[in-house]
Structure 1
């Protein structure tokens, strides 16, 4: 159950990252990478506080990041259709 909660919290953080990235459309790529690193760190720390296992935290973070980018690609492709 803790893993599921950590995954949901991270998906919320990745969604906030997507909104922040969308709002900073004209920023340089370097600033977007810095913002990504900050959100990755926040997601990792949040999961570590919930799960309290470094190995499981790394797995949950990588899994939530993979799901987020998959959802992002699907969502952007759906928007291009309409």
Structure 2
């Protein structure tokens, strides 16, 4: 159950990252990378605090990040169709 909660918290954080990236669309690429690193660190630390296992935290973080990018690509492709 803790893993699921950590996954949901991270998905919320990745969604906030997506909104922040959308708001700062005119920023340089370097600033977007810095913002990504900060959100990655925040997501990792949130999951680590919930799960309290470094190995499981790394797995959950990489899984949530993969799911986020897959959903994002699928959504962008759907928007192009319509």
**TM-score, normalised to structure 1's length?**
0.99
Rounded Cα–Cα distance in structure 1 between residues aligned with 2:41 and 2:12: 14
Tell me, which stretches of 5 or more residues in structure 1 are unaligned?
A: none
The residue aligned with 1:55 is 55
The residue aligned with 1:8 is 8
Q: Which runs of 4+ in 1 moved over 6 A?
A: none
Aligned residues: 82
Q: Secondary structure at the match of 1:48?
A: helix
**TM-score, normalised to structure 2's length?**
0.99
Tell me, which stretches of 5 or more residues in structure 2 are unaligned?
A: none
Q: Secondary structure at the match of 2:57?
A: helix
**C-alpha RMSD of matched pairs (Å):** 0.4
